């Protein structure tokens, strides 16, 4: 279901019939990412898409993505996309 990533790792684990350790090992093996990195990457992609395709307030988008901290989300976003969210939005409108 779309949006499961917004509920974080616990939601991801609840959808699987495997232990946290098994899922963690498999995720790292097949994606090269930890569970946190995988979920954060989905959230960052969601934020980027919303910034390009909506006029919603950036804080609302960040919270809707599942991040609970705007500063942390902005830092991760800048690392991934090379721009903070506001500049990213301006460069894609």
pLDDT of residue 1: 42
Give the model confidence (pLDDT) of 11-44 as tens digits: 778 888 888 899 899 999 999 999 889 889 999 9
pLDDT digits (tens, 9 = 90+) for 35-82: 889 889 999 999 999 999 999 999 999 999 999 999 999 999 999 999
Please give the torsion angle defined by the CA atoms of residues 20, 45, 64 and 13, in that order, rounded to the nearest 10 degrees. -10
Residue 58, token pair as written in the block: 């950036």
């Amino acid at each position: 279901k779309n949006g499961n990533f917004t509920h974080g790792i616990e939601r991801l684990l609840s959808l699987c019939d495997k232990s946290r350790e098994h899922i963690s090992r498999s995720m790292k093996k097949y994606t090269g990412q930890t569970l946190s990195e995988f979920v954060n990457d989905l959230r960052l992609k969601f934020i980027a898409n919303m910034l390009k395709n909506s006029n919603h307030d950036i804080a609302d988008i960040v919270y809707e993505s599942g991040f609970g901290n705007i500063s942390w989300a902005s830092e991760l976003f800048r690392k991934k996309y090379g721009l903070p969210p506001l500049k990213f939005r301006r460069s894609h409108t």
